[in-house]
Structure 1
């Protein structure tokens, strides 16, 4: 009789322990962070570019991890690289940030812009305290075409530059 009680108690404790683990596992899955804002920006992933008489502009985006997209921009004329930039689009809590480090600018420091608009076809990042630009906009024209635009005040006047790009076929 003692053996039956012992085995019964052991089975009941095992079942309780197992059921608790399953509830905790479900709870952990529910608590997994969701990066919905970053998900809405993933259309930018890929290799983009444009060739003009001034040179070749290229911008490449990839997913670094659950919360971060990583980008690199270069502008090349002939054999000279005139401009390079490393970028991260990162979601922290409910904010989507565009962190950029431009070669030979801002004393090598990263400048951060916060998303003010995020739709399926447009992302706008703003930093009113930055010298120029104060606004960076990506407009999705089609699945293989976008226009990047920088804008704001420059020397006290409104200024902007647009960079149309096509997705490279690899």
Structure 2
């Protein structure tokens, strides 16, 4: 009996290097929280990638995020900070929300609490675990690339 596994190749884990996740770079748009989202990721340079996120609902900015993915101790970590519409920080001055890397495949970057999934060259899904009232819910953001 001969059997083939197409999934095995896709699930091959890649090294935790920025060049293996460079497909995230670009300008992405979607919808979430009753509004329009925009997320802009830079290409890897200087051992990191950086991004800005903006949510606009009812004609005004609800919040911003500044995000980075950086190489640290032979792995990657995604760190972010939230800001309200007037750029006042949600976290304290030295505090970041950190998502350590779990693994990378050709089409997924899986951090603890956040996953990037490449659907095509112009589409990706981002899954974020959102904790509220001792309950965790995974929210899906579908983005299209400019």
Q: TM-score, normalised by structure 1?
A: 0.67
- Residue 85 and residue 153 in structure 1: after superposition, are their counterparts in 2 closer, same or farther (change >3 A)? closer
Alignment of 1:23-102 (within 5 A): 37-51=17-31, 54-63=34-43, 65-102=45-82
Q: Compare the two structures and name the one with the higher strand fraction.
A: 2
Q: 2:100 aligns with which of 109, 114, 117?
A: 114
- Larger RCO: Structure 1 or Structure 2 (Cα < 8 Å, ≥ 6 residues apart)? 2
Q: After the TM superposition, which parts of structure 1 deviate over 6 Å for at least 4 consecutive aligned residues?
A: none
Counterparts of 2:123 and 2:62, CA distance in 1: 24
Counterparts of 2:33 and 2:66, CA distance in 1: 24
Larger Rg: 1
Structure 1: gaps of 5 or more residues = 1-34, 127-134
Structure 2: gaps of 5 or more residues = 1-14, 84-88
- Residue 42 and residue 92 in structure 1: after superposition, are their counterparts in 2 closer, same or farther (change >3 A)? same
Counterparts of 1:53 and 1:92, CA distance in 2: 32
Q: TM-score, normalised by structure 2?
A: 0.77
- Residue 36 and residue 100 in structure 1: after superposition, are their counterparts in 2 closer, same or farther (change >3 A)? same
SS in 2 for 1:70: strand
Cα distance, 1:95 vs. partner? 1.3
Question: How many aligned residue pairs are there?
Answer: 126
Q: Is 1:125 matched up with 2:111?
A: yes
Q: 1:138 aligns with which of 98, 116, 122?
A: 116
Q: Compare the two structures and name the one with the higher helix fraction.
A: 1
Cα distance, 1:51 vs. partner? 4.3
